[in-house]
Chain A
């Protein structure tokens, strides 16, 4: 069955450092992968989408990589700030189908 794995342990980093979150998947060939941010008691907020034929995507301080051979995506936040503290979800999809979400990784950025 399809499986999406995100590190269940919270990631604690110091302000200013780069946060790197991992999303691994098995038994799946997604056409694209998306990253969302979710704050407690709120709905997810879309951040970035990367397609299967793209290796890397950037948006301001965010960078996403997508390795379809390793079946892995890495999500980087550079120069992290306390305001970046949240849960980050990866989601995989194919056109016409609903997204499949991982459980998310909690990020805590301390001053």
Chain B
């Protein structure tokens, strides 16, 4: 159990275009999903916390108008990188919190999306 999928796994886009990344919890309901980005040999950096049915909470320094998050259902959250630029190229990873784990915040991660902006 506790499988999280992400789509697409890789995307290459031109500068100025928008890219949408989907994160799905396949066999459990996730009221909270998290979006991270990771640069090579660096730690996961939390970008935002996505709660189902409400606005996402963004970490300091993350532009909410650039990284649009929608958590429309208990199994789906989307991250849209708007007007992407080369500096947005990174590895984006989502995770979902399985509330069946007794509130200990065990998070299950998706396989990640490699975004390359040309």
Contacts and interface: CB of A to CB of B under 8 A. Distances in A.
Contact of B112 (A32, A36, A42, A51): A42
Interface stretch (A19-27, A72-80, A89-97): A89-97
B74 to A, nearest CB: 18
A104 B108 CA distance: 17
Nearest to B59: A98
Q: How large is the interface on B (under 10, 10 to 19, 20 to 34, 35 or more residues)?
A: 20 to 34
A21 B87 CA distance: 33
A49 B101 CA distance: 11
B82 to A, nearest CB: 23
A71 interface: no
Interface in A20-58: 31-32, 34, 36, 41-46, 49, 51
Interface string B78-118: 00000000000001010100000001111111111010000
Nearest to B94: A43
Interface of A: 31-32, 34, 36, 41-46, 49, 51, 89, 93-99, 101-104
17 contacts: A34-B106, A36-B109, A41-B91, A41-B112, A41-B114, A42-B111, A43-B6, A43-B93, A46-B2, A46-B109, A49-B104, A49-B106, A95-B105, A98-B49, A98-B105, A103-B41, A103-B43
